[in-house]
Amino acid sequence: MLGEGILKGMAETARNFVGSYISEDRLVTVQYPEERLPQKEAARNFPFLVYDGDDWQKGLRCVACQICEKECPPQCIFIVKDTAKKPDYIGKLQFQPKVFDIDISVCMSCQICVEVCPFDAIKMDVEYELSTQDRFGQLLLHKDDLVRPNQYYRQIHPTEAAEIDGRLAAEKAKADAKAKADAETKAKAQATLVAKPAAAPPAKPSAETAPAPVVAK
Amino acid sequence: MVESLDQIFVDLKHLLVTLAPVEWQPFLSALISVVGIIVTFASLFALSTILERKGLGRIQNRFGPNRVGPWGLLQPLADGLKTLTKEDLVPRAADKVVHFIAPLVLVIPVFLALAVLPMGRNMVGVNLDAGVLFFFAVGAATELSVFMAGWSSRNKYSLLGAMRAIAQMISYEVPLILSAVTVIMMAGSLSTVTIVQAQAGYTGWVPHWYVLTPWGLAGFLLFMIGAAAESNRSPFDLPEGESEIIAGYYIEYSGFKFALFFLGEYVGMFAISGLAITLFLGGWQAPIPVLEWIPSYFWFFGKLLALIAVFIWVRGTLPRLRMDQLMNFAWKFMLPMALFNILVTGLWRFIPTGWERWFICTLLIVGAYVTLGRTLFQQKHWAKRSYRFAE
């Protein structure tokens, strides 16, 4: 009959209205500043720079290769290379950024900088409460605002961080083993050169000498 | 004691007026009434905005506003401050004079219409002999303001919204007035005060309200549907239809002018609900004789809040109609039903009191309703929609 559907709909909304006062479960609202939903692991917002160890100046992974700067679609990254070099996680000397700025009012959170970085130095942060009164000062993040320890990265994106840590540790182990082997062969050559008649010490196989995979700091 | 509490506002006004010199008294009396009505209904507007947002929230299993003040009760204050401090934008191409006076042309008649509503025993702004006629005449002026707003903004959306509003308001004005005609026929008067008095008295516990008769119930429902359409309330809010024409005729209004439109719309809703109360729900009279000690203005505003709650409930339930559905509903259903209802009222008037007239009138109305509903549904052919313009 005409009007039947309207009455049914009215009954439904009345049930919702009364029900929302009776059972709290019906209310889907999360009252944000007081209540928060747990962060999703895949969440991302703006990029940050990862560093290993305690001192960010020493442990910064960025080598100022400027790939991210070139790839950034909205051009929000600005890098100036430093002339001084510093050793990276395997002890190789690398460049470092003198200036590394990201304008997060321009950044569109596309994650392309993360995808292109060969050094796993730039990653996406999950911080979202970034509102500020100072539009120009506070939204242009400098190097010291951007750095975060690797522990923080492990905390916000555990799966990715574990994978990267494993890879870096393996690389470091390989580099260490290679260095050790090189050193041994060198020493051996030296020894044979210096004391030819003496019996050569039994050379240990390099696999045994490799240190246990250290977690990159 | 009860009597004095009931008449407290009337006595107070009388006291104030007698303090003034004689030549000032009529003017002062009018001024006090006007200020009283404006203050009451403006605060009712503030109250109903928060109630509406809360109610809609609960209907959708949300909290609704709960940040400003306890339970969000100070939200209207924050909204008012916001609209007052907002920038008042006027489009460069707009007709500035018309754009400026359109909100005033809405608010003034809407408040004028309140003058003839009896809000309690002896509490009426002016007791006009043609009160109902005055109400509808003044209420029709709001259509002018809507078109002024839509036209002067020089915006396609606002013009579309205004055209929709005019089409809708004129279409629904007809069944609205025709359903009110039944009450005028029975009460034999156009004066709102006389109409309320005609509904006085009780048979046992049942009041003599017109809504409790077959023709009265049909008339009341038709009147409320027409009222929703007249005040542009959902499901008849096509003129402002956010999803298709953004905000309709007040798209170019901001700041306090927008607030005035908002106020006008709500007070228009209160006015037309107040008229529905006066015509069908016994005005300021108590629903059962034992509750007659409660002051009469309490009953009027209680009924008004109940009707507002129904409007909010309907808004939370029904989706917006399409334009052709809206027009079909007005001309194919509301108008025939309203005309038929006038006929039934005439029968009710001339059949002597008794169960026979109840039986005959109920049968006629239900029969007409069912037949009309069936016919309208049968005419529907469900088919794939074809677009003539977008091909």
pLDDT at B87: 87
Tell whether the model's pLDDT for residue B293 goes beyond 50.
yes
- How confident is the model over B355-369, as a mean pLDDT? 89
Whole-angstrom distance, CA of residue B189 vs CA of residue B271: 20
Give the number of residues written for chain B.
391
| Strand, coil or helix: B254 | coil
Residues of B in contact with A14 (CB under 8 A): 313
Sorted by sequence, the CB contacts under 8 Å of residue B19 that are 6+ apart come out as none
| Per-residue confidence band for A208, with pLDDT thresholds at 50, 70 and 90 | very low
B225 assigned to some structural domain: yes
Q: Phi-psi bin for B249: left (phi > 0), alpha (psi -120 to 50), beta?
A: alpha
A201, two tokens: 């010490």
| DSSP result, A62-121 | -----HHHHH-TT--EEEEE-SS-EE-TTS-EE--EEEEEEETTT-----HHHHH-TTS-
Furthest CA-CA distance within chain B:
76
Percent of chain B at pLDDT > 90 equals 24
Edge-first strand listing for the sheet containing A77-81:
A77-81, A97-103, A140-141
pLDDT confidence of residue A197: 57
Q: B58 — contact with chain A (CB < 8 Å)?
A: yes
Please check whether residue B352 lies inside any domain of the structure.
yes
Contact B59 A17 (CB under 8 A): yes
Answer whether residue A201 shows pLDDT above 60: no
CATH numbers and ranges of domains, chain A: 47-162 (3.30.70.3270)
Structural domain contains residue B4: no
Report pLDDT digits (tens) over B329-350: 889 889 999 999 999 999 988 8
Beta bridge partners of A49: A122, A147
Q: For chain A, say whether B377 makes contact (Cβ under 8 Å).
A: yes
pLDDT digits (tens, 9 = 90+) for B312-332: 999 989 888 888 888 888 898
**The predicted structure's pLDDT at residue B177:** 92
From chain A, the residues in CB contact with B60 under 8 A are: 16
Residues of A in contact with B313 (CB under 8 A): 10, 13-14, 17
Which amino acid is it at B383?
Answer: A
* Bridge partner list, A60: A51
DSSP string, chain A: -TTHHHHHHHHHHHHHHHHHHH-GGG-----TTT--PPPPTT---SEEEEE-SS-HHHHB------HHHHH-TT--EEEEE-SS-EE-TTS-EE--EEEEEEETTT-----HHHHH-TTS-EEE--------S-TTTTSEE-HHHHEEEHHHHHHHSHHHHHHHHHHHHHHHHHHHHHHHHHHHHHHHHHHHHH-SSSPPPPPPPHHHHSPP-PPP-
Q: Which residue of chain A is at minimal alpha-carbon distance from B369?
A: A2
In this structure, of A161-175, A192-206, B289-303, the range with the lowest mean pLDDT score is A192-206
Q: Decide if B325 touches A, using CB distance below 8 A.
A: no
Give CA–CA dist A195/A207, Å, rounded: 27
Q: In this model, does residue A207 exceed pLDDT 60?
A: no
Confidence of residue A217 (pLDDT cuts 50, 70, 90): very low
Q: Among A72, A147, A69, A67, which residue's Cα sits nearest to residue A108?
A: A72
Determine the average pLDDT of the residues in B236-256: 81
What's the gap in Å between the CA of A40 and the closest CA on chain B?
A: 23
Q: What is the predicted pLDDT for the residue at B254?
A: 84
pLDDT at B390 over 70: no
Higher confidence at residue A201 or residue B124? B124
Give the whole-angstrom CA distance, residue B193 versus residue B127. 7
The residue ranking higher by pLDDT, A199 or B209, is: B209
| Cβ contacts of B333 on chain A, cutoff 8 Å | 2
DSSP category for residue B259: H
Mean pLDDT, residues B261-268 taken together = 90
Residue B301 pLDDT exceeds 50: yes
Predicted confidence at residue A202, as pLDDT, reads 52
Could B63 and A13 be called an inter-chain contact, meaning their C-beta atoms sit closer than 8 Å? no
Task: Summarize the confidence of residues B359-382 as an average pLDDT.
Answer: 84
Residue B391: pLDDT over 70: no
The answer to whether residue B156 is domain-embedded is: yes
The answer to whether position B119 is within a domain reads yes
Q: How far is A8 from chain B (nearest CA, A)?
A: 10
Cα dist. A170→A31, A61, A178 in Å? 45, 16, 12
Checking if the pLDDT of A195 tops 80, the result is: no
Type of residue found at B247:
A
Contacts of A33 in chain B (CB under 8 A): none
Give me the amino acid identity at A111: Q
- What is the C-alpha to C-alpha distance for residues B79 and B72, in angstroms, rounded to an integer? 12
**B376 lies within 8 A of chain A by CB:** yes
Q: How far apart are CA A113 and CA A122, in angstroms?
A: 7
pLDDT at B238 (0 to 100): 80
| B319 touching A (Cβ < 8 Å) | no
Contact between residue B103 and residue B253 where contact means Cβ atoms under 8 Å apart: yes
Contact B313 A21 (CB under 8 A): no
Strands in chain B per DSSP E: 202-203, 206-207
What are the pLDDT digits (tens) for A77-97?
A: 999 988 888 888 777 888 889
Q: How far is B316 from chain A (nearest CA, A)?
A: 7
pLDDT for A190 equals 84
Question: Closest Cα of chain A to B61: distance in Å?
Answer: 5
- Work out whether the CA dihedral B164, B167, B168, B170 comes out positive or negative: positive
The count of C-alpha atoms lying within 13 angstroms of the C-alpha of A131, restricted to the half-sphere facing its C-beta, is 1
Looking at every residue in chain B, the average pLDDT score rounds to 87
CB-based contacts of B271, cutoff 8 Å, min separation 6: B110, B113, B114, B117, B135, B139
Q: Do B62 and A29 touch (CB under 8 A)?
A: yes
Encode pLDDT of A35-54 as tens digits.
888 888 888 889 999 998 88
pLDDT of residue B313: 92
Closest-approach residue (CA) in chain B for A8: B317
Using the Cβ of B372 and the Cβ atoms of chain A, whether some distance falls under 8 Å is answered with yes
Task: With respect to residue B386, please indicate whether it lies within any of the assigned structural domains.
Answer: no
Summarize pLDDT for B57-77 with one digit per residue, the tens: 999 988 888 888 888 888 889
Residue count (chain A): 217
Using CA coordinates, name the residue in chain B closest to A34.
B67
Residue B76 falls inside a structural domain? no
Residue B176 has what pLDDT?
92
pLDDT at residue A199 tops 80? no
At residue B221, the pLDDT reads 92
Residue B156 sits at the chain A interface (C-beta within 8 Å): no
The residues near B348 (Cβ < 8 Å, ≥ 6 apart) are B186, B213, B214, B215, B357, B361
Does residue B50 lie in a domain region? no
d(CA B182, CA B215): 8
Paired tokens of B161: 């919204």
- How would you classify the pairing of strands A122-124 and A47-51? antiparallel
Domain total in chain B: 1
Please give, rounded to a whole number of angstroms, the shortest distance from the CA of B222 to a CA of chain A. Answer: 13
Identify the domain containing residue B257 by its residue range.
88-374
For residue B353, the model assigns a pLDDT of: 82
What pLDDT digit, counting tens, does each position of B271-287 carry? 999 999 999 988 888 88
Task: Respond yes or no on whether ipTM tops 0.90.
Answer: no
B54: closest chain A residue by CA: A17
